[in-house]
Chains A and B, each alone.
Chain A
Amino acid sequence: MGYKRVIMGVQKTALYDLHKSLGAKFVPFAGYEMPIQYKDGIVKEHISTRTHAGFFDVSHMGQFFLEGDETLVESLEKIIPSDLKSLKVNHSKYSFLLNESGGIIDDLIVTKTNKGFCIILNAACKENDIKHISKFLDKNHKYFLNNDLSLIALQGPKSVEILEKLIPGVSELKFMSGNNFSYDSESLYITRSGYTGEDGFEISISNKKVKNLINFLMKNGVKPIGLGARDTLRLEAGLCLYGHDLTEKINPVEANLKWAIAKKRKEVGGFNGWNKIKDLLTNGSEKIRVGIKPEGKVIARENTKIFSSNGEEIGFVTSGTFGPSVNRPVAMGYIKSEFSEIGTSIQLEVRGKKYEGKVSELPFYKKSYVK
């Protein structure tokens, strides 16, 4: 038991010392030393996010800025299947970077800015993503990863009331939109978004000012939340974790994320993997991502094999845990499409023994976004 520590070459966020002082247990994650939990533990952190508010240091994620003229949209639309052309300034979309066969290189949030776009990239993928994106850019497009900025997710039903006290105006933002605000004599960018299924914000703020912001939040009863609870929260909300539920070998149709491909782009195409995706949109995919509810208390973790009720192997689990708010084990995985109907009985092989389960609707926990 316990966690291996990586001493050499490990990166730390601007809040590392603060996490330490709050009793964080650290784990190496995507080359960073990140808090997995604090003193309260995963279940309490999860519940306090759902019932009050919690903050997450997600500064390890890449804040990637692109600037350019209208040709920038054309370049990005070759690898991102959103309607970037129609995206209004300060509005965001959930999307992905696609490879030539339609596989997902990373999932991301793209926001239109005055000069171009800001893309939030997964920490483990950001370097590779930038290499991939840059191949599609022209000489007149500028791009840079801003390492001077921290990123704080404030999540939970009390988030809006608390942040409005410090930064008036944030309550007017709608889900998946943002704006510039001023705080501590500095400009910062806030979007109403997050990855927990709760109302909340993601705050992009300079590394110099981030501690002041956190001190304010903590004085207002916001608890620090580690990666452990981030995982249980996102899984209850049915949201994918890159490297587990999504990989380069999975395309958006299989991932049950075709809603994230813009309607116009589905009709016209013109992006990486379009031929394959067009075919799958028409004919369906062989396998698809579904929610899974194991019966009883058994937890079906990543790589658990899934069988049909007559014993045929039909898929595998990609994420599984105990959901503290739904008070039961929950999982997601890929199964053969003919078994994907909600309510289908399946069997889950855990430690050599088969346990009953059912294909379930996603999310497990109802989202409460402010639209």
Chain B
Amino acid sequence: MSEKKFSKKHEWVTLEGDIATVGITKHATEMLGDIVFVEVPEAGKSIEKEGQAAVVESTKAASDVYSPISGEVTEGNKAIADDPSSVNGDPEGANWFFKLKIKDKSELETLMSKDEYDKFCKENPS
């Protein structure tokens, strides 16, 4: 599996072959608070980089989740739609949002490393 990469919109992505796994970051869940609703995309949906892909809602507000990379969705994580609060527990591991078959691996190069993302969050506090 590739190194985890991060977007400015607080999504993470890992790559295995040409299949990317996308979720939201721990920092995002801390900003959101208690997650009470998740909508994940259906398999077969095409999504452009930075396109709206999923929805996450906390007790406070609804937010869109964007795809950090272009591709066709192969799977949405039904488990988190059934148990939205699980995302607060382990956002960067088991509780990914969707997987997609990517078109252009080079898009990953525009994303941040873990260190770069941590720095980005410190410089852009909510």
| Residue contact A322 to B37, C-beta cutoff 8 Å | yes
Task: Write out the residue numbers on chain A whose beta carbons fall within 8 Å of the beta carbon of B85.
Answer: 43
Alpha-carbon distance A256/B125, docked complex (angstroms): 43
Interface bits A25-54 vs B (CB < 8 Å: 1, else 0): 000000000001100011100000000000
| Residue contact B60 to A42, C-beta cutoff 8 Å | yes
| Residue contact B31 to A2, C-beta cutoff 8 Å | yes
| Residue contact B34 to A42, C-beta cutoff 8 Å | yes
Alpha-carbon distance A273/B62, docked complex (angstroms): 38
Q: Which of B34, B63, B126 is A3 in contact with, Cβ under 8 Å?
A: B126
Answer whether residue B55 sits at the interface, using C-beta atoms and an 8 A cutoff: yes
Interface bits B37-56 vs A (CB < 8 Å: 1, else 0): 10000000000000000010
Task: Write out the residue numbers on chain B whose beta carbons fall within 8 Å of the beta carbon of A41.
Answer: 33-34
User: Given contacts A1-B10, A2-B31, A351-B55, are A329 and B60 in contact (CB under 8 A)?
Assistant: no
Alpha-carbon distance A87/B85, docked complex (angstroms): 47
| Residue contact B37 to A1, C-beta cutoff 8 Å | no
A212 → chain B closest CB, angstroms: 31
B101 → chain A closest CB, angstroms: 25
Tell me the residues in window 47-77 of chain B with beta carbons closer than 8 Å to chain A beta carbons.
Answer: 55, 57-63
Interface residues on A, range: 10 to 19
Alpha-carbon distance A37/B61, docked complex (angstroms): 14
B67 → chain A closest CB, angstroms: 17
| Residue contact B33 to A1, C-beta cutoff 8 Å | no
Alpha-carbon distance A232/B34, docked complex (angstroms): 12
Answer whether residue B19 sits at the interface, using C-beta atoms and an 8 A cutoff: no
Tell me the residues in window 288-345 of chain A with beta carbons closer than 8 Å to chain B beta carbons.
Answer: 297-299, 301, 321-322, 324, 329
Alpha-carbon distance A299/B33, docked complex (angstroms): 16
| Residue contact B126 to A297, C-beta cutoff 8 Å | no
Task: Write out the residue numbers on chain A whose beta carbons fall within 8 Å of the beta carbon of B108.
Answer: none
Task: Write out the residue numbers on chain A whose beta carbons fall within 8 Å of the beta carbon of B84.
Answer: 297
Answer whether residue A228 sits at the interface, using C-beta atoms and an 8 A cutoff: yes
Answer whether residue B32 sits at the interface, using C-beta atoms and an 8 A cutoff: yes
Task: Write out the residue numbers on chain B whose beta carbons fall within 8 Å of the beta carbon of A2.
Answer: 31, 125-126
Answer whether residue B36 sits at the interface, using C-beta atoms and an 8 A cutoff: yes
Answer whether residue B112 sits at the interface, using C-beta atoms and an 8 A cutoff: no
Name the residue of chain B whose CB is nearest to the CB of A297.
B37
Answer whether residue B28 sits at the interface, using C-beta atoms and an 8 A cutoff: yes
User: Given contacts A232-B59, A299-B62, are A42 and B33 in contact (CB under 8 A)?
Assistant: yes
Among A1, A36, A301, A324, which residue has the most Cβ atoms of chain B within 10 A?
A1
Task: Write out the residue numbers on chain A whose beta carbons fall within 8 Å of the beta carbon of B55.
Answer: 351
| Residue contact A1 to B34, C-beta cutoff 8 Å | no
Q: Which of A1, A43, A322 is B31 in contact with, Cβ under 8 Å?
A: A1
B21 → chain A closest CB, angstroms: 22
Q: Taking beta carbons and an 8 Å cutoff, which residues of A are in contact with B?
A: 1-3, 36-37, 41-43, 228, 232, 297-299, 301, 321-322, 324, 329, 351
Could you list 24 examples of A-B contacts with CB < 8 Å?
A1-B10, A1-B31, A1-B61, A2-B125, A3-B126, A36-B60, A41-B33, A41-B34, A42-B58, A43-B34, A43-B85, A232-B59, A297-B36, A297-B37, A298-B37, A299-B37, A299-B57, A299-B62, A321-B59, A322-B36, A322-B37, A322-B59, A329-B37, A351-B55
Q: Taking beta carbons and an 8 Å cutoff, which residues of B are in contact with A?
A: 10, 28, 31-34, 36-37, 55, 57-63, 81, 84-85, 125-126
